[in-house]
Amino acid sequence: MNHDNLTSVVEVLPGGPVNGTIRPPGSKSLTNRALICAAFATGDSILRGALQSDDTHVMVEALREIGIEVSAADQGCTLRVAGNLLAASNKAVRFDDPTAKSLFIGNSGTTIRFLTAALSAFGGRYRLHGVPRMHERPIGDLVNALESVCDGMVKCESAGGCPPVMIETRGWNGARLRVAGNVSSQYLSGLMMAVPIARRSVSIEVVGELVSRPYVEMTATIMRDFGAIVRWTNGGAGGERLTCEIDGSSGYSAIDYEIEPDASAASYFWATAAISGGKVTVEGLGPDAMQGDVAFVDCLEKMGCDVIREARRITVGRTGELRGIDVDMNAISDTVQTLSVVAMFANSPTRVRGVAHNRFKETDRIGDLAKELRKLGAKVSEHEDGLTIEPIPEGQHLSGAVLETYDDHRMAMSLSLSGLRLGGVKITNPACTAKTYPEFFADLETLIGRPHRWQTV
């Protein structure tokens, strides 16, 4: 046997209704945003409830490489960030050093986008690179936006405006910039968080549709928590021009910060209740949570689920049939895969709209998702901005399906939920969930009350 070709697969076994309570780990989006603000703040910050995952690990390691001290306690869930900007300046590779600091960022979109903007504002020579898939994910619009404010150069090394990214700047010297909003909200978030690092006041104009706006609002809230002043204005004849005005002249201030559980991760557990006809409560998240993905429960409610919203917990239950819906998921695009799996068990088709940018994530989350759902017997139509999922006819699913995950954590977690109702569904490379949720399958196993079936093939 050639052991080099061995790989693991996991099979979530069908069963009855799932009932229980769970608290997901800390939000990746909040953890990586808080790390940027804390790293370039004045003084030491404490981040409580931080996520330990591949994406947050590469962010922490990159910050350490440029001289930021980050120490961990409570099994990594509490981080102390020594964010003295002056001290970091003494340790970091500066512009006049001919050697660029090499920073490996894996396949973490938040890390490369946030650090590209932040380090261009901080100044110095850096090269940000990652795994092959990262070098296929566009970042050109962000790099182009930085040209108008940087005292120096930021450029992409791969075709199509993709990483690696080379940074050689003395900081920022401009006060206005523009960024396209229709590819990734992380571009705008990165630019916003960089302004206080540049110690300037800057106006950022968003060109075109802004996707996933709740994530940008989250960024503004965190920045305010760390002491920045952030205002939104709408211009143009119809108010269609969105501008973010940031007073970053005072920089960031250190704080003690509590991180919410991950709302994107919570979607899998709410979906577990919808698929199985059970009742699941997620602790630590309420309707006023900072993360927009709590709105996923609104979709389940429209599909026929009962939703109980409390200040610090949300419960989803289902007793009747699921029905298909027509929904724009632009604001909660990280939960499209989860909803698509739920949609296979509805009594009518579901149309997902507004998520054309999902093709540029860790994988093509429209085309690749459709391909895998079809392996289960679902009829799926791709559209420019999303997809339509027709339910699997009762008793007609294709048994023994082996579903590929494309090294995409959200493909693995969402597709695995199909096994709650369908027998023989095998998920390849389950370890890819380490990107944002290393303990996902263990937590799911505890919630559903029965073990998964693991194989090496």
Closest CA to 161 of 178, 136, 179: 136
Residues 314 and 294 sit within 8 Å (Cβ to Cβ): yes
Q: Out of 334, 407, 408, 443, which one is annotated catalytic? A: 334
Tell me how far apart the alpha carbons of residues 251 and 41 are, in angstroms, rounded to a whole number. 7
Identity of residue 156: C
Instruction: Identify whether 298 is a catalytic site residue.
Output: no
In degrees rounded to 5, what are phi and psi of residue 316? -120, 130
How many beta carbons lie within 10 A of that of residue 98, not counting itself? 8
Sign for the CA dihedral angle at 415, 420, 424, 427 comes to positive
Joined tokens for residue 382: 């791709």
**Distant-in-sequence, close-in-space partners of 160: CB < 8 Å, separation ≥ 6:** 136, 138, 140
**Distant-in-sequence, close-in-space partners of 177: CB < 8 Å, separation ≥ 6:** 145, 146, 148, 149, 191, 202, 203, 204, 205
In degrees rounded to 5, what are phi and psi of residue 216? -70, -40
Identity of residue 341: V
Closest CA to 285 of 258, 305, 316, 310: 310
CA count, 13 A, side-chain hemisphere, 401: 24
Closest CA to 196 of 169, 213, 212, 220: 220
Please name the residue that has the structure tokens 């590209």. Answer: 116
Tell me how far apart the alpha carbons of residues 40 and 424 are, in angstroms, rounded to a whole number. 49
Tell me how far apart the alpha carbons of residues 392 and 34 are, in angstroms, rounded to a whole number. 42
Joined tokens for residue 403: 């579903």
Closest CA to 28 of 262, 291, 257: 262
- Residues, the chain, total? 457
Q: Give counts: helices (H), strands (E), the chain.
A: 13, 26
Tell me how far apart the alpha carbons of residues 448 and 414 are, in angstroms, rounded to a whole number. 15
For residue 451, whether the previous peptide bond is cis, meaning omega lies within 30 degrees of 0, is: no
* Residues classed as catalytic: 334
